[in-house]
Structure 1
Amino acid sequence: IERRLDTVRSMCHHSHKRLMACFQGQHGTDAERRHKKLPLTALAQNMQEASTQLEDSLLGKMLETCGDAENQLALELSQHEVFVEKEIVDPLYGIAEVEIPNIQKQRKQLAKLVLDWDSVRARWNQAHKSSGTNFQGLPSKIDTLKEEMDEAGNKVEQCKDQLAADMYNFMAKEGEYGKFFVT
């Protein structure tokens, strides 16, 4: 599962990047603001301005019709880009930059907790061995270390359970993630 997470993260990151490169409008703006910034909108305005200068001539009417069509295309494009951004790009970013990194942080946290647990266990074993030769004053230290070791073991188990649950939950959503590309 861990290797698969890295592969999914890479795929989401690259897909997000490539989709962002396809946008002609500004990322993160609403459809109307994006519409105003599109090259098609500028072309439509240019055609409509030229049509008013040519008035009722055949070319003037043709430019007016073409300008209206270009403006409608620009409007459709801006609405489509907003939809793609909301339904595909933003969720892909969330997977690549939030969900998977959170799971990876948990994995690192688990590794740290295991090291802490091993350290406490080693100290407990050392204290337990030395208690055979020098019995005075060590029972309370051994008991304290035993409590620390048990607590560290519990933290490891909790983290391991949470990590496993999050990883399997992530993999269970794979079909849902696939729908981003079908949308």
Structure 2
Amino acid sequence: MRGILAAGVAAAVVLTSGGAADAAAYPKYETPKIFGTTFQADPKHDFTKGIHSRRNGILRGWITHVRGGTAEYVPIRWKKGKHTQGNFVGPREGHVGAYASPIAKNVVFLSAYGCKATMSNLTVSRKTGLGAKKCPRAALIKRHGTNAHPSLITVYKGRIVKVQEIYIP
């Protein structure tokens, strides 16, 4: 009887922790400086072989285009302003430095502005300035497919597995 009870408890734990297993399915990578003033280098990436996925890790960047579940994205950097705090900028026009990766079906999208298209709710961690509200994959594709939003983009095994928006006041 105890064996059956223990097996039942173990099965319940496995069933309830399914979401956590998906979220922890990739290693923890070093997070880049959120407001870094240089583009993140990728010395092992061969840009002469066409646009393809970035190596495993976290890129401070923004998604420039989404088509058929594949996102194109570029690195960004913080440019200090003379009259304002500054803003994020991408590579100059014509720069060869874009990536393309499929968006994982179970992607973790942490929004800084809520899940609705109006982006009227602030859902930011006050501690980090990063998005804290988990939203569906469809919201990610709809929002980032039309407008570039600064984000931390996590790539694992050639797929985008996490996108966390950076809040800019």
Report the TM-score, using the length of structure 1 for normalisation: 0.24
Q: Which has the larger helix fraction?
A: 1
What TM-score results when the alignment is normalised by the length of structure 2? 0.25
Greater percentage in strand: 2
